[in-house]
Structure 1
Amino acid sequence: MIRIIFAIVLLLHGLIHLLGFVVPWRLATLEEMPYKTTVLAGALDVGEAGIRAVGLLWLLAAIGFMAAAGALFTLRPWWAAVTLGTTLFSLTVCILGWPEARFGALINLAILAFLFVAGRMAWLGQ
């Protein structure tokens, strides 16, 4: 049961990462996440092309989390490695999107903690 709940958390986290893609690409507008061309809490203006590149990083993280969720659902032996790599990558992307991405960074830290504890406690039925 814990495995399924964790896989759902990974899937939902991946879907939320899609917001970081659709806003910079102007595929959607969100009041909570306005379009901007700056990163690092507004310290660096990367322009239109740069923010689209950042959007692609968010998309890559979304794909990684969805792949990790699918791998965990189907008990693939590589799910933990993909989850760990994607989570570390996502933390880096969250720094670029700070402060809007601060809650995502907290979720990433929780995922890392869960990976550590679950691995030691054999919670995920490997």
Structure 2
Amino acid sequence: MLPLLSIAIVIILGIHGLIHLMGFVAYWPLKEMPQLAYKTVFLDGRLELGANRTRIYSVLWLLTAIGFVAAAIALIAGWGWGQPLLLAVTLLSLVITALDWTPAFRGAVIDPVILVLLLMGPQLARILPQIGS
């Protein structure tokens, strides 16, 4: 059985990923969301993406959502690709939240925590033990 802390971390990663779906929904746009309004200008008005590139930006939010959930599943299952995927998706998350910092800063707070845990290397293995070892 996995330790409670491991399960909690995996649940937090999964929830963090699902929250990224809001970016996809808002910037595609599939639905109007008052807390994350559709726009085509980012970096506090310094970067104009236009409608087509904003859709590409929204797909990055979707890929990040899928990546966090997949990494959470891989970590809980003990699959070796979970940590590299988590590193890549966390870095992508930092980039996309930096582009629209004002509404997304809350979500970006967890990304540095994830990076610190990943950089701990072998110590992370004690927090998220491999199943079957």
TM-score with structure 1 setting the length = 0.91
| Residue equivalent to 2:10 | 7
Task: Work out the CA distance in 1 between the residues paired with 2:7 and 2:32.
Answer: 32
Pair 1:17 & 2:14 matched: no
Offset at residue 84 of structure 1 (A): 1.0
| Residue equivalent to 2:66 | 63
> Structure 2: any 5+ residue segments left out of the alignment?
none
Offset at residue 118 of structure 1 (A): 6.9
Pair 1:112 & 2:115 matched: yes
Structure 2 counterpart SS, 1:77: coil
Q: In the comparison of the two structures, how many residue pairs are matched?
A: 126
> Structure 1: any 5+ residue segments left out of the alignment?
none
TM-score with structure 2 setting the length = 0.86
Task: Work out the CA distance in 1 between the residues paired with 2:81 and 2:47.
Answer: 36
| Residue equivalent to 1:81 | 84
Task: Work out the CA distance in 1 between the residues paired with 2:76 and 2:100.
Answer: 29
Q: In the TM superposition, what whole-angstrom CA distance separates every residue of 1:8-41 from its partner, at most 9, and x where no partner exists?
A: 1111011010111011112112111111111112
One-letter amino acid matched to 1:98 = W
Task: Work out the CA distance in 2 between the residues paired with 1:118 and 1:64.
Answer: 20
Percent identical residues: 41
